[in-house]
């Protein structure tokens, strides 16, 4: 089967939450200049810039790719390979944390690995199309 790439949905509220964190990182870096001295401020600014860079990286590079025998999840520095033959079931759900998703509407993918049930979450733009194609692939390979 041909590989299909799905971009992540990006809910404005989730983006606002990320923006608030970025502002907090920036303000703490500014405050650190007056509190921790030059060396402490440089260290804190470097850490904050790293966190900001990761948020930006996640925002611009989160996507999901249905490959020949696996779902590939890419979210900034995070990667996940989910073999179709391990998928037990899928369901639409809602969530409020950053788990390779940038939206509150998401799809939970439950899979069995070494006897343990694990869950992964994705939030593709086209949920129904993604889910139909994913189910077709894991039913064929499972």
Other beta carbons within 10 angstroms of residue 48's beta carbon come to 19
The dihedrals phi and psi of 34, each to the nearest 5 degrees, come to: -95, -15
Secondary structure of 6-49 as H, E, C letters = EEECECHHHHHHHHHHHHHHHHHHHHHHHHCHHHHHHHHHHHHH
In percent, the amount of the chain with pLDDT more than 90 equals 53
DSSP 8-state secondary structure symbol assigned to residue 123:
-
- The whole-number pLDDT of residue 35 equals 78
Indicate the pTM of the whole model: 0.83
Q: Tens digits of per-residue pLDDT, 73-101?
A: 999 999 999 999 999 999 999 987 766 78
Residue range 55-81: mean pLDDT, rounded: 94
Residue among 55, 53, 49, 74 nearest 14 (CA): 55
- The whole-number pLDDT of residue 66 equals 97
Q: Tens digits of per-residue pLDDT, 38-58?
A: 777 788 778 888 888 888 899
The size of the chain, in residues, is 142
- The whole-number pLDDT of residue 62 equals 95
């Amino acid at each position: 089967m041909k590989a299909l790439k799905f971009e992540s949905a990006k809910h404005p509220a989730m983006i606002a939450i990320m923006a608030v964190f970025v502002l907090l990182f920036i303000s703490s870096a500014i405050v650190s200049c007056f509190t921790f001295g030059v060396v402490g401020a440089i260290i804190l600014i470097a850490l904050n810039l790293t966190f900001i860079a990761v948020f930006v990286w996640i925002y611009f590079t989160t996507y999901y790719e249905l490959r020949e025998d696996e779902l590939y999840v890419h979210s900034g520095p995070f990667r996940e390979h989910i073999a179709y033959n391990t998928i037990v079931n899928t369901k639409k759900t809602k969530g409020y944390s950053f788990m390779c998703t940038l939206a509150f509407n998401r799809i939970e993918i439950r899979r069995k690995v070494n006897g343990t049930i694990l869950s992964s979450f994705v939030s593709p733009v086209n949920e129904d199309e993604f889910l139909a194609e994913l189910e077709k692939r894991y039913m064929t390979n499972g």
